[in-house]
Structure 1
Amino acid sequence: MAAEPELQSAAAALAAEFGLPTTDTEADFILELTREGLQLRWRSKPEYQPLILDYTRGAQAWRQQLGGGRQEAVVRALGLGKGFRPKVLDATAGLGRDSLMLGHAGCEVWMLERNPAIHALLHQAVLHLQQFHGDGHWSSQRVHVLPAGSLLDKESLHEEFSKLQPHAVYLDPMFPEREKSAAVKKDMQVLQHLVGADLDADGLLPAALALASCRVVVKRPAKAPFLAGQTPSSQIASKKHRFDVYIKQPYPKVNV
């Protein structure tokens, strides 16, 4: 939908680009084009601010500046401390924050998201970041958004996956919420209600292991069971989460 009549044609063009309807008046979640960009609005929860992805300002831009360092758990879990910068497929990209961390840290990252609304937000946010900073910026050189889909969509995305040949696959499947907590940020609450739990998450691990040449990293809540019941090679712990690392083989050696 367009927030203003003048934006109607642009909103229709975006809907066509992402294969999204423009006439569903009963939808609880809508993508709305404003003069500032695309936002996701939760109709039945008007007290919630619309979800906007903008990597050029605010907390997310600050985290990018911090994220080149080894102190980030996701950076350490991907094994970036020894000079090699792997090609990474983030197969559950969501709001894209971990992908941006890895891209800023030096990895070439491909972002895959299957929810069409979140994919559209992600695509536009990355495009805005790249246009904002220009062709020489690391985001233009190292961050790519794949067509909407899942690692389990082998038919529709087989050609894309075969081209990638990633060294590592990163998984952060949506985990069912066991309790309501005010600590959960509102943008994540919106995401949880729109997307729901990834009930097929166990199937992602064997698919990721088949695709990655060197390792798979899975982000999990601290007390959650291992994905697919498979014990990892090692773990990296953060405050509320852990990163389960499944190593197939070492990364290629870098001549220093």
Structure 2
Amino acid sequence: MTAAEGALRVDFVTGAVAHRLRFGGGRGQDLAKAMGLRAGKTPKIVDATAGLGRDSFLLASLGAEVTMIERSDVMHGLLQEGMARARQEGGIFGEILARMTLLHGDAKTVLPKLEAEVVLIDPMHPPRKNSALVKRELRQVREIVGTDEDSEALMRVALRHTRQRVVLKWPAKAAPMPRIEPCSHQILGKSTRYDVFMCTTGVERSGV
């Protein structure tokens, strides 16, 4: 979130993140369902495009061990600072942060080394036609990381090197990502949808 002076800031303790922690709906939320979290099943998750870390924090709050990958030096630094503040807060925040690991690097290179069970990919999308609808902090993130023009390449790497499922977080009304095979199923929300690709262990998927 943004500090008073308008600088981008990662905050897991107050504001929208804390509200979602208290009132978000637990494992009934679309993201949790898409990632395969259900009673008796909590896969280890890799968030390949960590960004502000909010989805990772939510998933960790639901009991998942989450490894975040961030290649931007600036965003990685902001995440480190935000995680340190949350650890200092202690209590439930300390417990959640204990399940979160942050790696610095390009996910296309890091993912093949992780043997991930479930991978989340949330690319930075091109600006919408009505840019006024885009929240200020997301515009700030875009200024730092760009528009992830290699998102298709990242999807192909994830599909080759993930054991259970890859989840693409995508605008609800957007066309499927080009040159990627059809997803197994979708979970559709008001503004966001999750395209779920079920993977075959140890077998490289055709067409990727």
Q: TM-score, normalised by structure 2?
A: 0.86
Structure 1 residue ranges, 4+ long, deviating more than 6 angstroms after superposition: none
Residue in 2 aligned with 1:239?
Answer: 190
CA offsets 1:34-91 (integer angstroms, 9 cap, x no match): xxxxx989xxxxx971111111122211112234612321111011123210100000
- Other-structure match for 1:58: 15
Gaps of 5+ in 2: 202-208
Q: Secondary structure at the match of 2:186?
A: strand
Q: Which amino acid aligns with 2:183?
A: P
User: Which residue number corresponds to residue 16 of structure 1?
Assistant: none
Give the aligned partner of residue 202 of structure 1: 152
Give the match's secondary structure for 1:76.
helix
Give the match for residue 206 of structure 2: none
Q: Give secondary structure in 2 for the equivalent of 1:213.
A: strand
Do the aligned partners of 1:67 and 1:104 also contact (CA within 8 Å) in 2?
no
> Aligned AA for 1:114?
R
SS in structure 2 at match of 1:167: strand
> Residue 19 of structure 1 aligns with which residue?
none
Pairing of 1:37-56 with structure 2 (within 5 A): 49-56=6-13
- The one-letter code matched in structure 1 to 2:139 is Q
Q: Which amino acid aligns with 1:116?
A: D
**Whole-Å separation in 1 of the counterparts to 2:71 and 2:2:** 16
Alignment counterpart, residue 219 of structure 1, candidates 169, 188, 193: 169
Higher relative contact order (CA 8 A, sep 6+): 2
* Contact 2:86-2:93 at 8 Å conserved across structures: no
CA RMSD in angstroms, aligned pairs only? 2.5
Pick which of 205-214 and 65-74 moved more.
Answer: 65-74
Q: Residue type matched to 1:245 in 2?
A: V
Q: Distance in 2 between matches of 1:67 and 1:112?
A: 24
Q: What secondary structure sits across from 1:70 in the alignment?
A: helix
Greater Rg over alpha carbons, structure: 1
Against the structure 1 CA distance between its residues 234 and 135, is the aligned structure 2 distance closer, same or farther, given a 3 Å change threshold? closer
Percentage of pairs with the same residue:
37
Q: How does 1:73-222 map to 2 (within 5 A)?
A: 73-133=30-90, 137-146=94-103, 148-152=104-108, 154=109, 157=110, 162=113, 164-222=114-172
Whole-Å separation in 2 of the counterparts to 1:135 and 1:183? 33
Secondary structure, counterpart of 1:188 in structure 2 = helix
Contact 2:34–2:194 (Cα < 8 Å) also in 1: yes
Secondary structure at 1:217's aligned position in 2? strand
What is the TM-score when the length of structure 1 is the normalising length?
A: 0.71
Amino acid of the structure 1 residue aligned with 2:96: S
SS at match of 2:7: coil
Q: Do the aligned residues in 2 keep the contact of 1:67 with 1:102 (CA within 8 Å)? A: no
- Is the Cα contact below 8 Å between 1:135 and 1:141 reproduced in 2? no
